[in-house]
Structure 1
Amino acid sequence: MGHTRLYRNGKLVAEGFPVADVSEHVKDPSAVVWFDMCTPTEEDLLAISEELGLHRLAVEDALQRRQRPKLDVYDSHMFLNVYAARFDASSGQVDVADAAAFITSNALVTVRKTEDFAIDEVIRRWDESPSLAKHGVMYLLHGLLDYVVDSHFDAVEAMDEQVEKLEEKVFGDEVVGRDEQRFAFELRKSLVTLRRVVMPMREAVNTLLRRNGSDSEITPYFQDVYDQVLRATEWTDSLRDLVGNIRETQLNIQSNRANMVMKQVTSWAAIVAVPTLITGFYGQNIPFPGYGHPLGFWTSMVLIVGVSGTLYWAFRARDWL
């Protein structure tokens, strides 16, 4: 017993039946079958490939990891590879879970590489729109793509919130620490990862739109998915550029702050050098104007205060202090 469903004439008539019964249901032209396989072996896929007439290359792609998102069209079926995404706001990392799907005229077989791909969310989308079940496999495929694209959109939306927090920290009064810098680096890596799984989805969904042009009733639903793909793609690209700009701005601000500190230190050093110079000169053991008289002391004090004050106001006027 596993994730299995049987639709007949647009109605859900059975679910949770053994996978062994799938071959009998597939023979019925009025039936639409879905079943799910999680971490299957090569023998498992070869068994269903004989039943459904799957291409050998498609079976190999379903077993391999890190395939790019794509839609391959064969004579008797289509092969789809997709990635669901989930963003962890605490670490700034995005986790992706890949899944494959074999699409025939009356069957959809999903192959998950990991349990992280939430197939229950796909089932929930099917249950929320039972009126579309009359469209057969395209109805099932739409629910699968809708979950995948929504996960991309949720991830990029969560990343956008973190980018806004980074902006506030960069332009705040507090100095950005190592943890914030590490988080910004992880966020940029996550955006690159997300872009790799979002960008190819445009081509895959667009291909489905072109091939499904005859079914005008369900086409708007695929068009909506395509629009979401475009929005997620553009949003991901803009956030990636924005994070890079934030990092450059952060470095510029740090450089400006360092320059300001150096100017202040240099200015105070110049002011302190004046009394040091004067007292050093008057500390010589040779006669000079005012030597041995109070006049010499007051002359040195006037020079110290006058020259130091002049330097202080000159530096303040240049915004160095």
Structure 2
Amino acid sequence: MAIIDNAIYVGGVRTENPRTLSETFETMRERGGMGWIGLYRPSEHEVREVADELGLHALVVEDALAGHQRPKIERYGDVLFLVLRPARYLDDVEEVEFGEVHVVAGPDFVVTIRHAESPDLGRVRARLEHDQQLLARGPEAVLYAILDEVVDEYAPVLAGLENDIDEIENQLFVEDADATERIYKLAREVIDFQRATQPLPGMLEALQRGSEKYQVEVELQQYLRDVLDHTLRIADRATTFRTVLDNALTVESTIVARRQNEEMRRMTELSIRQNEEVKKISGWAAILFAPTLIGTIYGMNFTVMPELDWTFGYPMAVGAMLVMGLGLYAVFKKKGWL
């Protein structure tokens, strides 16, 4: 059995600690107190057993068995069903871990179904057991305390996210290939955090609207208003984080683009310089090629060559070399190759 804690409360005092669910239901009916059953990752059979004993709506069972839901509140007659997404910040890996807890609150019972380590419902129970006056107000008091605990646990998450964002802002203007990836990853966590927190104000406002109809005490209504104020501030900070990260991503993209442009400019300048050098080398190679060609022809030493016995043969060959070399030099100089 996935029972973490199971107790009967009468007048805000813990009077019984039933060992089984059947014993819990019998004692609740005998004593007329409030039963609080805490389950941790129960099986489908265990959820249906609780639902059958408490007469829960079939949709409550369906929702309780479905995991990975967004926060919501549903009312089935005099039974409330809540889905909450607690969170905790993991310092060692600098990540946010999200949990899920379902709360079923009826006239004389509360069932909590926890699917992760957070929130610490044992701390909530201990807090209420030390405040008998608050616990005596019944399931609404337990519901308030659970909401308050979930919202309070968001504070370290906000602090961790804010610290990560500060580090990213300092990292923006330092050439770091991991900056963009880190911004995307942190933005994803902020979006998940928004999904966990943004529905809460509407849920609390819905609870307040039903307070008079379901005769919720004025003091409890005030407590719920305090939690609502906290959720509104949390939602505002999460929105601010999202805006800052969007701006950081824009700045990072601009910086990366500027660095790429500068690199392209350097590569272009290098290519231009290389082209100039190639032109110079090609020009001088062409100039030297002309006399080399003539010298090669007259260096073949054939017996029958008209110019070999001509008096002006040598001056003509040298003159041709000079004329061709100077002509090519003039052409390349005019084109800017030399």
Indicate the TM-score class for this superposition, using the shorter chain for normalisation. 0.7 to 0.9
Give, in angstroms, the shift of residue 123 of structure 1. 2.4
Segment drifting more, 229-238 vs 56-65: 229-238
8 Å Cα contact 1:53-1:76 kept in structure 2: no
Q: Distance in 2 between matches of 1:260 and 1:252?
A: 12
* 1:116-153 Cα deviation digits (max 9, x unpaired): 54322322442564442232111111111112122233
The equivalent of 1:110 in structure 2 is 112
Matched-pair identity in %: 22
| Cα gap change, 1:281 to 1:95, in 2 (>3 Å) | same
Matches within 5 A, 1:104-183: 104-127=106-129, 129-172=131-174, 175-178=175-178, 180-183=179-182
| Cα gap change, 1:275 to 1:78, in 2 (>3 Å) | closer
Q: Distance in 2 between matches of 1:250 and 1:148?
A: 34
8 Å Cα contact 1:93-1:186 kept in structure 2: no
Q: Are 1:207 and 2:209 counterparts?
A: no
Q: Distance in 1 between matches of 2:249 and 2:93?
A: 18
| Cα gap change, 1:164 to 1:128, in 2 (>3 Å) | farther
Give, in angstroms, the shift of residue 238 of structure 1. 1.9
The equivalent of 1:13 in structure 2 is 14
Q: Distance in 2 between matches of 1:243 and 1:92?
A: 16
Q: Distance in 2 between matches of 1:121 and 1:108?
A: 16
The equivalent of 2:252 in structure 1 is 250
Give, in angstroms, the shift of residue 50 of structure 1. 2.7
Segment drifting more, 201-210 vs 253-262: 253-262
| TM-score, length-scaled by structure 2 | 0.73
Segment drifting more, 218-227 vs 278-287: 278-287
Which of 84, 87, 94 lines up with 1:85 in the alignment?
87
8 Å Cα contact 2:201-2:231 kept in structure 1: yes
Q: Distance in 2 between matches of 1:201 and 1:110?
A: 18
* 1:147-168 Cα deviation digits (max 9, x unpaired): 2122233323311110111000
Which of 48, 61, 64 lines up with 1:62 in the alignment?
64
Query: What are the ranges of 5 or more consecutive residues in structure 1 without an aligned counterpart?
Result: 292-321
The equivalent of 2:101 in structure 1 is 99
Q: Distance in 1 between matches of 2:4 and 2:284?
A: 98
Q: Distance in 2 between matches of 1:261 and 1:191?
A: 34
Q: Distance in 1 between matches of 2:161 and 2:198?
A: 17
Tell me the matched-pair count: 291
8 Å Cα contact 1:82-1:100 kept in structure 2: yes
Matches within 5 A, 1:231-270: 231-263=233-265
Query: Counterpart amino acid of 2:231?
Result: V
Q: Distance in 1 between matches of 2:17 and 2:205?
A: 32
Q: Distance in 1 between matches of 2:31 and 2:279?
A: 103
RMSD: 3.3
The equivalent of 1:27 in structure 2 is 29
Q: Distance in 2 between matches of 1:166 and 1:16?
A: 51
Give, in angstroms, the shift of residue 226 of structure 1. 0.9
8 Å Cα contact 1:77-1:103 kept in structure 2: yes
| Cα gap change, 1:269 to 1:59, in 2 (>3 Å) | closer
Q: Is the radius of gyration larger for structure 1 or structure 2?
A: 2
8 Å Cα contact 1:92-1:187 kept in structure 2: no
* 3-state SS of 1:27 partner: helix
Give, in angstroms, the shift of residue 272 of structure 1. 8.7
| TM-score, length-scaled by structure 1 | 0.77
Query: Counterpart amino acid of 1:7?
Result: Y
